[in-house]
Amino acid sequence: MTTEEFWAEVAKATKLVASWPKWKQNILEQSGKPTVDVPRQPIVDTAHQVDRLAQLLGMQAENMQRQAIGASMAYVEEDFLKV
């Protein structure tokens, strides 16, 4: 849709709404407003949290394997804090 087509559609919609009775225009206006004064809490990005947890568990598992064979740790505390 070009800019001209967009504004043509906006003009058509404006003209249509202007032809409605006031009570119907009021419903349209009111339905576009928020229903509560306080905004919703943001949605938690669980997929990101699961990926982070999987990465941390993988790092911990590697450290435990190295510890079992007497090798030095692959990851230190700072590495875990960076994830």
As a whole number of angstroms, the distance between CA 59 and CA 81 comes to 12
Predicted confidence at residue 57, as pLDDT, reads 94
Q: Output the pLDDT for position 53.
A: 92
Q: pLDDT per residue over 58-79, tens digit each?
A: 999 999 999 999 888 889 989 8
**83 contacts 59 by C-beta, under 8 angstroms:** yes
The pLDDT value recorded for residue 33 is 87
CA distance 14 to 16: 5
Q: Is 70 helix (H, G, I), strand (E, B) or coil?
A: coil
Helix, strand, coil percentages for the chain (3-state, nearest 5): 65, 0, 35
- 39-57 confidence digits (pLDDT tens): 888 777 788 888 999 999 9
